[in-house]
Amino acid sequence: MSVQKTCISPSCQKPFKIIDQEQDFCEHKQLSLPEECPRCRHQKRMALRNERNLYARMCNKCQSKMMSTIPTTAPYTVYCNKCYWENIG
Ligand SMILES: [Zn+2]
Ligand SMILES: [Zn+2]
C-alpha cells in the first residue's frame, strides 16, 4: 500500500506517492518518510553537490570575487575568467 503525500517544497507542493519499497527502506534504516517529491529531492541533492564543489575565492590578480572549484585553503593561484584569458593570451 503506497502512501500519498504532498511535497513540502513551497515552489512545488505537488502530491506524490511513496511506494512500498521506499517505505520498507525507510523503516529498515529508521528514517522518516520523505516530505518532498522525488523531483525536489533530486534537485536538492544536485544543488548540494554543486555547493560543495564551489568555493568563494578572490582572483589572485585583480582581487575580484569569484567562485572556484579549488578550495580556499589550497595553495594555488586562481584567476577569474578575465584574468585567466589575459594571462594565457
Ligand atoms: Zn516537489
Ligand atoms: Zn581577475
Report how far ligand 2's centroid is from the alpha carbon of 74 (Å): 18
Going from the Cα of 56 to the center of ligand 1, the distance in angstroms, rounded, reads 29
Give 70 Cα–ligand 2 centroid separation in angstroms.
15
Task: pLDDT band for 56, please (50, 70, 90 cuts).
Answer: confident
The identity of residue 40, as a single letter, is C
Contact 48, 22 (CB under 8 A): no
What gap in Å lies between CA 65 and CA 71, rounded to an integer?
Answer: 14
Cα–Cα distances in Å, from 79 out to 45, 69, 71, 76?
A: 29, 12, 13, 10
* Residue ranges per structural domain of the chain: 3-51, 55-88
Query: How sure is the predictor about 1, in pLDDT bands with cuts at 50, 70 and 90?
Result: confident
Q: pLDDT for 31-50, tens place per residue?
A: 999 999 999 999 888 877 76
